[in-house]
């Protein structure tokens, strides 16, 4: 193999192991054994487990961010944007199951290179601009758009994590249900929502 080919082989092997066992559960010895190379070869290309993990995570973040950004930037009616974004995340999960498993795991290395929660935060920042314009048109307070953006993106992301293992119902059906809840809820937003009367521990409203 050329150096480039060996590097790609090690990344593919490591990606599979990290998805199966997580960062802490994977060792350089396992990576080397599965790639049928010696440990020094892994160190030569990546400097250790942390280095190879960082590259794997960065690639997955770039891929998912690209898919979500494309869905958001196409513009159009906000409901259509929501539909595309939900489908984009589910399609990524469907096509890159190992990669998504790695992104949703927590590890010290992931925190240094970009956790799934920070990625979702970046997507929410893009969504809040779209929501802000929609809020203005509906005479709602655009200052609350960042909160609602994180609610929406968080809902889609958490549903995606659930669908990662269940794969039921079908991807398009999951996306449709997500949009049904999010859009029908958004279309009836109150200008100044308030909580109802306080309920004490006995269940009696005060």
**pLDDT band at residue 132, thresholds of 50, 70 and 90?**
confident
pLDDT bucket at 77, cuts 50 / 70 / 90: confident
User: Is 161 a residue whose pLDDT tops 80?
Assistant: yes
Question: Which helix (H) or strand (E) is 9 found in, with range?
Answer: helix 3-25
Asked if pLDDT for residue 199 goes beyond 60, the answer is no
How much of the chain exceeds pLDDT 90, in percent?
A: 48
Q: What is the pTM of this model?
A: 0.80
List CB contacts of 191: < 8 A, sequence separation 6 or more.
139, 140, 141
pLDDT tens, residue by residue, 8-28: 999 999 999 999 999 999 999
What pLDDT is stored for residue 59 in this prediction?
92
The answer to whether residue 90 scores a pLDDT higher than 80 is: yes
Pairwise pLDDT comparison (44 vs 187), residue with the higher score: 44
pLDDT averaged over the chain? 86
- Domain 57-188 belongs to what topology? Tetracycline Repressor; domain 2 (1.10.357)
Per-residue model confidence (pLDDT) at position 110 = 45
Does pLDDT of 71 surpass 70? yes
Sketch the domain layout of the chain as residue ranges: 57-188
In this predicted structure, what is the pLDDT of residue 203?
Answer: 55
- Separation of alpha carbons 59 and 57, rounded Å: 5
User: Cα-atom radius of gyration of the chain, to the nearest Å?
Assistant: 21
Which sign, positive or negative, has the C-alpha torsion 17, 22, 25, 28?
positive
Q: Where are the alpha helices (DSSP H) in 39-188?
A: 39-46, 49-73, 78-95, 97-103, 108-113, 116-137, 145-166, 171-186
Please compute, for residue 79, the number of CA atoms within 13 A of its CA located in the half-sphere on the CB side.
Answer: 10
- What confidence tier does 205 reach under pLDDT thresholds 50, 70, 90? low
Span 169-198, pLDDT tens digits = 999 999 999 999 988 887 787 888 888 855
């Amino acid at each position: 193999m050329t150096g480039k080919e060996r590097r790609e082989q090690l990344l593919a092997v490591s990606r599979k192991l990290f998805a199966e066992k997580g960062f802490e559960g994977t060792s350089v010895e396992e990576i080397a054994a599965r790639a049928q190379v010696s440990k020094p070869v892994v160190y030569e290309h990546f400097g250790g487990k942390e280095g190879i993990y960082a590259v794997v995570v960065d690639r997955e973040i770039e891929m998912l961010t690209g898919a979500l950004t494309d869905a958001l930037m196409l513009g159009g009616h906000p409901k259509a944007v929501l539909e595309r974004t939900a489908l984009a995340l589910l399609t990524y999960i469907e096509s890159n199951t190992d990669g998504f498993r790695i992104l949703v795991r927590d590890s010290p290395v992931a925190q240094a290179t970009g956790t799934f929660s920070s990625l979702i935060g970046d997507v929410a920042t893009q969504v809040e601009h779209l929501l802000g314009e929609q809020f203005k048109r509906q005479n709602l307070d655009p200052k609350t758009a960042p909160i609602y953006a994180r609610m929406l993106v968080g809902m889609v992301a958490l549903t995606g994590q659930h669908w990662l293992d269940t794969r039921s119902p079908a991807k398009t059906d999951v996306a449709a249900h997500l949009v049904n809840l999010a859009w029908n809820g958004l279309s009836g937003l109150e200008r100044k929502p308030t909580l109802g009367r306080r309920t004490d521990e006995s269940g009696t409203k005060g």
